[in-house]
């Protein structure tokens, strides 16, 4: 690969990627912090101390725990019961630093290409009952919401990777967190969006369920920030997602961002095969496409590992619609449990046909699927252009 001679944006005094200390933090609508941990790296510079203190001041009721020798992923919530620990984590905020926050994914056994992703945050405070992330080792043992303060270092790494790639390269924020849920608190978008806007090669793709986008509407993004919303029909969101912005709030946020010129995408995942799903999803896709000029729609079924499934069943019972439709024989090479392939193809096919009628130009993609599914839907020429990538 060729090395770029592009000057560093981070050395440019007008484009400093330090913490947004002039941002006035706002409590995100759905987040209540009972305990705040000041973990390793959170208080090591005067700038970090000021930044953390301003956020802590918004939660005077929270218990403050200083643990400067404990890394962010070793916070012990002192709760043995798996469900109770998970619920406690949703009300626990950890400040720390993440030294390997920019990573290349290591997907195997499905049609997804690997991609760069980054983590100024870890986990999230929303309560989706099907959450796959809750079952991953780090958030299973220490399921707290995390804010990483080494943002400058994270963007420096992105800059190095993008310059080395010497071509437009996506960096995805949403694999190990919600990408914007904590933004009203941190104001990180005020640093990230200008950084990517001015970069020749680096682009960010953010996945979120937020309804709070005021901060984004003030920023010049140069279309180098792509915003993607995770959606499901309202009647299913109400049943399977707790403590999240409503679908109407998300659609409104998408609309505002699209009007402000951001490229906007949607991902409907997991599709949930409840009785009458054809009508429910068909109607919802029509509503989505009529209300927001999205560029790309990505679809996916449930793709879940054992721990996340166990947690989901503690919340919903074993008879829930997702569990009842899982087919253990449908594991493809990546080991995740899915719905049976005929059901997945039927659901994708129905939505693709509905979408195509309204928007023949709409880019369509699948998430964590097999090559065969792309082919059956006639969209194999789009493989590699899904939600996490350009």
Interacting residue ranges for ligand SF4, rule: CB under 6 A = 124, 126, 128, 131, 133, 178, 209
In this complex, which beta carbon is closest to ligand SF4, that of residue 222 or of residue 246?
A: 246
For residue 104, give the 3-state DSSP assignment.
strand
- Nearest alpha carbon to residue 207 among 281, 108, 296: 296
Count CB neighbours of 345 within 10 A.
Answer: 17
In this complex, which beta carbon is closest to ligand SF4, that of residue 23 or of residue 250?
A: 250
The rounded Cα 123 to chain-centroid distance in angstroms is: 9
In this complex, which beta carbon is closest to ligand SF4, that of residue 51 or of residue 229?
A: 229
In this complex, which beta carbon is closest to ligand SF4, that of residue 136 or of residue 166?
A: 136
Which H helix or E strand runs over 349?
Answer: helix 341-358
In this complex, which beta carbon is closest to ligand SF4, that of residue 54 or of residue 129?
A: 129
Phi, then psi, of 49 in degrees rounded to 5: -60, -45
- What is the signed CA dihedral for 302, 307, 311, 317, rounded to 10 degrees? 70
For residue 129, give the 3-state DSSP assignment.
coil
Q: How many residues in the chain?
A: 390
- What is the signed CA dihedral for 135, 139, 140, 144, rounded to 10 degrees? -130
Min dist. Cβ of residue 38 to ligand SF4 (A): 23
| Sheet architecture: strand order including 92-96 | 63-66, 35-38, 92-96, 145-148, 121-122
In this complex, which beta carbon is closest to ligand SF4, that of residue 134 or of residue 389?
A: 134
Min dist. Cβ of residue 112 to ligand SF4 (A): 17
Min dist. Cβ of residue 126 to ligand SF4 (A): 4
In this complex, which beta carbon is closest to ligand SF4, that of residue 92 or of residue 163?
A: 92
Min dist. Cβ of residue 245 to ligand SF4 (A): 10
Tell me, what DSSP letter sits at residue 14?
G
Count CB neighbours of 328 within 10 A.
Answer: 8
Min dist. Cβ of residue 130 to ligand SF4 (A): 7
In this complex, which beta carbon is closest to ligand SF4, that of residue 75 or of residue 162?
A: 75
Tell me, what DSSP letter sits at residue 337?
B
Min dist. Cβ of residue 230 to ligand SF4 (A): 6
Min dist. Cβ of residue 132 to ligand SF4 (A): 7
Min dist. Cβ of residue 53 to ligand SF4 (A): 27
* Residue 160 C-beta-side C-alpha neighbours within 13 Å: 8
Min dist. Cβ of residue 162 to ligand SF4 (A): 26
In this complex, which beta carbon is closest to ligand SF4, that of residue 38 or of residue 254?
A: 254
- Nearest alpha carbon to residue 219 among 198, 201, 243, 237: 198
80 within 8 A of 308, measured Cβ to Cβ = no
117 within 8 A of 164, measured Cβ to Cβ = no
Measured CA to CA, the distance from residue 53 to residue 365 in angstroms comes to 43
């Amino acid at each position: 690969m060729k090395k770029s001679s592009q000057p560093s944006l981070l050395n440019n005094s007008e484009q400093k990627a330090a913490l947004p200390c002039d941002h006035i933090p706002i409590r995100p609508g759905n987040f209540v912090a009972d305990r705040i941990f000041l973990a390793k790296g959170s208080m090591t510079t005067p700038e970090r101390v000021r930044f953390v203190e301003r956020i802590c001041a918004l939660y005077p009721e929270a218990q403050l725990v200083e643990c400067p020798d404990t890394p962010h992923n070793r916070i012990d919530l002192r709760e043995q019961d798996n469900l109770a620990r998970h619920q406690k984590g949703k009300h626990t905020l950890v400040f720390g630093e993440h030294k390997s926050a920019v990573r290349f994914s290591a997907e195997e056994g499905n049609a997804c290409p690997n991609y760069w992703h980054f983590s100024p945050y870890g986990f999230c405070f929303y309560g989706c009952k099907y959450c796959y992330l809750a079952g991953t080792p780090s958030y299973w043992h220490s399921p707290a919401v995390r804010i990483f303060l080494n943002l400058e270092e994270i963007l420096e790494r992105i800059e190095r990777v993008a310059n080395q790639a010497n071509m437009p390269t996506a960096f995805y924020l949403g694999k190990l967190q919600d990408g914007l849920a904590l933004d009203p608190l941190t104001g990180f978008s005020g640093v990230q969006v200008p950084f990517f806007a001015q970069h020749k090669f680096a682009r960010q793709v953010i996945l979120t369920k937020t309804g709070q986008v005021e901060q984004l509407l003030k920023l010049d993004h140069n279309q180098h920030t792509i915003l993607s919303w995770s959606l499901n029909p309202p009647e299913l969101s109400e049943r399977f997602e707790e403590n999240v912005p409503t679908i109407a709030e998300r659609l409104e946020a998408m609309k505002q961002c699209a009007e402000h010129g951001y490229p906007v995408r949607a991902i409907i995942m997991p599709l949930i095969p409840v009785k009458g799903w054809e009508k429910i999803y068909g109607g919802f896709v029509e509503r989505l496409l009529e209300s927001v000029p999205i560029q790309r729609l990505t679809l996916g079924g449930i793709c879940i590992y054992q721990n996340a499934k166990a947690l989901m069943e503690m919340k919903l019972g074993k008879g829930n619609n997702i569990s009842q439709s899982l087919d253990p024989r449908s594991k493809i090479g990546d080991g995740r449990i899915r719905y049976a392939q005929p059901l997945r193809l039927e659901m994708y096919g129905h939505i693709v046909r509905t979408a195509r009628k309204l928007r023949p130009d709409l880019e369509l993609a699948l998430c964590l699927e097999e090559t065969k599914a792309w082919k059956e839907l006639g969209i194999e020429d789009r493989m590699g252009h899904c939600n996490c990538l350009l």
